[in-house]
Structure 1
Amino acid sequence: MKKTVFSLMTASLLAAPVYAATLEDVENSFYPYKNGSKEFTNLKPGMTINQSNVESVKDALDPAMYRFIKNGDYEIRVGATTSFDLHESYVNATKTNLNTTTLGEKNGEIQGFIAGRPFPEEPSLDDPRAGEKMAFNFKYGYNWGDTGAVYPFYWKFRDMASGKQERMLKFNFHFLNYKHRVKQEPMPDITPNPSNLFRGIYVQVLEPFDVKNTQLLIHRYEDDLKRDNAYLYLGFQRRVRRLSSGQTTDAFLGSDLMIEDFEGYNGRISDMNWTYKGTRYMLMPYYNHNDEPLDPETHKDDEGYQVVSFTGQGQCFPNVSWQVRKVYEVESSPVDPNHPLSKRVHFMDAQTFAIPRTNAYDRKGDLWKIFTIGQSHPDHHLPANKGSGVSIDDAFSMVDLQANHCTTGQFKGQLDPKLSPENKFSVQNLRASGR
C-alpha cells in the first residue's frame, strides 16, 4: 500500500511542470539586450514608418498600430534599442528571494513573495499559468518605484476626426507601495499597516472649476482575492462615497479611460483570466524624454520642464520615437460576464514589465480601444529622476475607435517621496483636501 501511494505521488510530481528560476534567468530577465537586440531586415534606427513602407515591417507592430499607420493616422520614428536598467536594489531583491514565490490553487493567489520580481524565469507556452505569473510580475514591478507622483498630469479630450480639443483636465496622481519596498525607507514595509494594504493610489483634480477637488483614493490589499476599497470625493457635493466594483469600468470623468485602465491594468489579478500568448520583438514607445519634440504650451514651470507633444490624426498620438523591444503578449479576459470588455491584449515589456501597449475588445469581440503609454529613460528626464532605475510613464493615448475619439495624457513624473506622504492616502485626507 505504501509503495503504491509513493508511486502515485511520484507520478503526479513528475507530471507537474517545474519552473525553478536560476541566477542566469534573472540576468536574462533584467538585461535582455546585453548581447544586442533582434534585427529586422527592413527596420533601422532613424527611419520613419508610414503608409509607404508599413507592409515591410508589419511583423514588428501589433495589429492596432499596424492599422493606424496603414490608414495614415500616425507615423512612427524609429530609435535605437536601449537598455532600461531597473534599480539594482530591485534586481538584488529578486536574486535574494529567488524561487520563494509560488502560485496558490486559485487564480490570483500567491505565496511566499517578499520583494523583487516574483517570476524572473522565461515564460513557457507549456505552463498553463504563465500568463498569471506575468501579471504578478507587472503588479509587483518597479513602476514608479516605491513611491511616485505625476505632478501635474494633463488630460485632453479630443474629437479624432477634427482634432478639436474639447476639454482639458489637470490632475495630481500619487502612488505609494506599503509593502515589498526595496529602495526607500521604511523597507521592506510601512508599519503599522493593520489593513495589510499593498498599494495606494490617490488622484486629485486641480482644474477646471466644475470638477476641481474631485478626488479618487484606491486601497489595494496584499490579498489579491480581497476587493479593493475605492473612494470618490466630489467637490460640489463635499462628501466621500465608496465606489462599487462596477464603477471602476465606467468612463472616468467623461474620458475614454476606465479606472481599471490606469497604468495598463489597474485591477486585481483575480478579476481576469490570464493567458501567455508568446514572446515577440516589436516596436514600443521607449525613448529619452529630453530628446523628443516637446509641447511649449501645455506646461511651463521654473525647472524648464516641458511635456511631450502629440501628433497624428486628431493629435491623438504621442510624438515620440519607438524602439524594438522584447515583449510578452498576454491576454486577459474578465471573470465577470457583465464586464464591458471581452478581453485585453497586453504587450508587456520583458525588461521593465511596464505595459506600453494594450488593445481592448468589446463584448462582441471587435477592437474597441487602443492604449499607449510612452516610457522615458529616467536618465534623460528630470534631473531628480536620474539614476532612479524607474521606467518613467511619460505620455498616454487612449483611442476609442468606435467613437472616433481620444483622451491623451502628458506627465511630469517625479520620484520624490515627499510628494506622496502616507497621510495623503487616507479617507480623512479626502475630506480635508476638499474643503
Structure 2
Amino acid sequence: MRARYKKSVLSILAIGITLGIVPVSAFASNDVINESFHPYNNEKPSHDGLSAGMTIDQSNVTQFKDIIDPAFYTFIEKGWTSITVGETTSFDLHPAYVEASRNALGNVSLGEQVGEINGWKAGRPFPQEPNADDSRAGEKLAWNYKYGYNWGDSAAIAPFYWKYRDMDSGKVERTIKFNFHFLNYKGRVIQEPTPEITPNPSDLFRAIYVQVLDPADVRNTQLLIHRAADDLKRDNSWLYLGFQRRVRRLATGQVTDAFLGSDLMIEDFEGYNGRISDMNWTYKGTRYMLMPFYNHNDMNLDTETHQDDDGYQVIAFGGQGGCFPDITWQLRKVYEVESVPVDESHPLSKRVHYMDAQTFTIPRTVSYDRKGSLWKTFTIGQAHPDHHLSKNKGTGVSIDDSFSMIDVQASHCTTGQFKGQVDPEMSRPSMFNVQHLRATGS
C-alpha cells in the first residue's frame, strides 16, 4: 500500500511539473530538508570492523582512528577510557521545527559582517549541505547551532549535579547541585506563545537562568544571561551572590573565567554559549564519527547517588579519575567546525566543534590554549527523548544528559549528571529577569 501511494504521488508531481503547476524547486526543497533532518533514512553509516555492541579500547583503537576525534583517540590509546558502540539511530526533531525550516528555505541569508543574518523567523536557517568552496560555510553552521532545537522552546535541568574531580586520584573534590532553566523568546515552534513571546522590550532571543541549591557556601548563587536577537549586541549577564545578597552585572571577560571554580567557562555551556560575532568560523569538513548518543533508560545508571524520589537515576561515570560517562556511542554524520576568537586576549586560540548533522547539538568540542596546545575537551552526552522521562517523549529534543569537561593540562575534570525536563511550567518567562534574582535570593 505504501509503495503504491508513493508511486502515485510521484506520478501526480510529474504531471504537475509537465503542466507547469508544481515548480521543480519543490523537489529540491524536499531533498534538502530530508537530507538535513533524516540523514539515515536511506543508509546508515558504517566502518570496516565496527559493529553495535563491540568495545573499542587500547587493543583495537588504531583500527578506528579516522572515526574518533584526535583528543578522545588519545584518551583511549592511553587506557583512560573505552567506547562501547551502539546502533546508529535517528534523533528526529519535532515536525513543527522541521516544517518551520522548510518554510524558511531560501529566505534566509547572511549579512555583510559576521553576526548579521536576514530573513530568519524560525527553524534551521541553512539546511543545505555545507560547501567547502563557501568561505562562510562555517558561519552558516554556527547559525544552525544557535537557532537549533537544543532544549526546544524551553526546558529545565532540575536537578543538575556537577562534580569536580582530580583525574589522577579519582577524588571528588566538590559536588554542586544546580537548577538550570532555558527559554527562547523567538523562533518558538511548539510551546505557546508561538512564534515569539511578547512583550519583549529588550528584543531578546534567548535567556538562561541558573540557581545553585547546594552546598551551603555557594547556595543561592544565581546567574542570568540575556542574549539579544541582534547578535552584534553583547549579552547582558548578572550574578547574584547569596552570601553578599546583591546582584552585580558580569563584565564581558568573566564569561571566559572558570565558573564557580569548575573546568568550564560560561562560554562553554551547551558546547558554545556566545555570540556568532565573537568568533571566526571555518568549516573543516563532513565525516562519519563516533558520537555520544544513546537511550538513557538503557544505560548503566548511577544507583548509589542522586536518585530522585520518582526513581530517576543519572548516568554513571567511570574511566580515568571517574571522568568519563558510562554510555554508548553511535557512528553519526558530523560537521567539523573551527572557531577562532576575535578578541586576541581570549584564553583560547581556537575550539574545534564536532556538530551532529541531524540535531545540530555539539556533543564534542576540543579547545586549545593561546599557544596552540591541547587544553580541554568537552563531551556532552545526547539522550533520545523517547527513552527518557515520560514528559520528554515526543518532544523531538535531543536531551543533554551527561557531560565531561577534561582539563588535560591540569589532570582535572568536571562532570555533569542531568535530569533534563522539557516542561514549559518549569521555565516561565517571569523567572528570567533581575527582579526574580533578588526575590529568590532574599
Q: What residue in structure 2 maps to residue 85 of structure 1?
A: 92
Distance, in Å, in 2 between the alignment partners of 1:117 and 1:161 is 42
Partner of 2:121: 114
Aligned partner (choices 299, 307, 325) of residue 314 of structure 2? 307
Distance 2:346 2:305 in 1: 35
How far apart are the structure 2 equivalents of 1:89 and 1:165?
Answer: 43
Check conservation: 1:21, 1:99, Cα contact below 8 A.
Answer: no
The residue that corresponds to 2:291 in the other structure is 284
Q: Does structure 1 residue 405 correspond to structure 2 residue 412?
A: yes
- Residues 164-313 of structure 1 aligned to structure 2 (within 5 Å): 164-313=171-320
Rounded to whole Å, the distance in 1 between the matches of 2:308 and 2:403 is 21
- Residue identity opposite 1:325 in structure 2: R
Which of 131, 142, 146 is matched with 2:149 structurally?
A: 142
Q: Which residue matches 2:335?
A: 328
Shift of 1:194: 0.8
| 2:357 partner letter | A
- TM-score, with length taken from structure 1: 0.95
Does residue 352 of structure 2 align to residue 349 of structure 1? Answer: no
SS in 1 for 2:62: helix
Question: What one-letter code is carried by the residue in structure 2 that aligns with 1:335?
Answer: V
Post-superposition shift, 1:343?
0.1
Q: Which moved more, 1:107-116 or 1:335-344?
A: 107-116
Q: Please tell me the residue identity of whatever aligns with 1:193.
A: N
SS of residue paired to 2:438: helix
Taking the aligned partners of 2:426 and 2:70, their CA distance within structure 1 comes to 39
Question: What's the CA shift for 1:297?
Answer: 2.4
Aligned-partner SS, 2:287 = strand
Per-residue CA shift, 1:312-355, capped at 9, x if unaligned? 00000000000100000000000000000000000000000000
1:21 CA displacement: 7.0
Structure 2 alignment gaps of length 5 or more? 1-26
Identity %: 70
| Structure 1 residue 379 corresponds to structure 2 residue 386 | yes
Q: Distance in 1 between matches of 2:427 and 2:29?
A: 36
Query: Counterpart in 2 of 1:3?
Result: none
| Structure 1 spans left out of the alignment, 5+ residues | 1-19
Summarize deviations over 1:254-286 as a string: whole Å, max 9, x none. Answer: 000000000000000000000000001000000
Aligned residue identity for 2:134: D
* Deviating 4+ runs (over 4 angstroms): none
Contact between 1:21 and 1:98, CA under 8 Å: does it hold in 2? no
Q: Secondary structure at the match of 1:32?
A: coil
Residue 363 of structure 1: aligned partner: 370
The whole-number CA distance in structure 1 between the counterparts of 2:95 and 2:53 is 31
Q: AA paired with 1:201?
A: I
Specify the SS of the correspondent of 1:22: helix
Q: Could you say which residue in structure 2 is the equivalent of 1:9? A: none
Return the offset for 1:308: 0.4
Q: Which whole-Å CA distance do the structure 1 matches of 2:346 and 2:104 have between them?
A: 36
Task: Quote the residue 2:109 is aligned against.
Answer: 102
Change (3 A) 1:178 1:84: same
Number of the residue aligned with 2:59:
52
| Residue in 2 that maps onto 1:24 | 31
Distance 1:266 1:365 in 2: 21
Q: Which amino acid aligns with 1:186?
A: P
Judging changes above 3 Å, is the alpha-carbon distance between structure 1 residues 275 and 21 closer, same or farther for their aligned structure 2 residues? Answer: farther
When normalised by structure 2's length, the TM-score is 0.93
Quote the residue 2:50 is aligned against.
43
Deviations 1:336-393 (A, max 9, x none): 0000000000000000000000000000000000000000000000011001100000
Q: CA deviation at 1:23?
A: 2.5
Q: CA RMSD in A?
A: 0.9
Q: How many residue pairs end up in the alignment?
A: 416
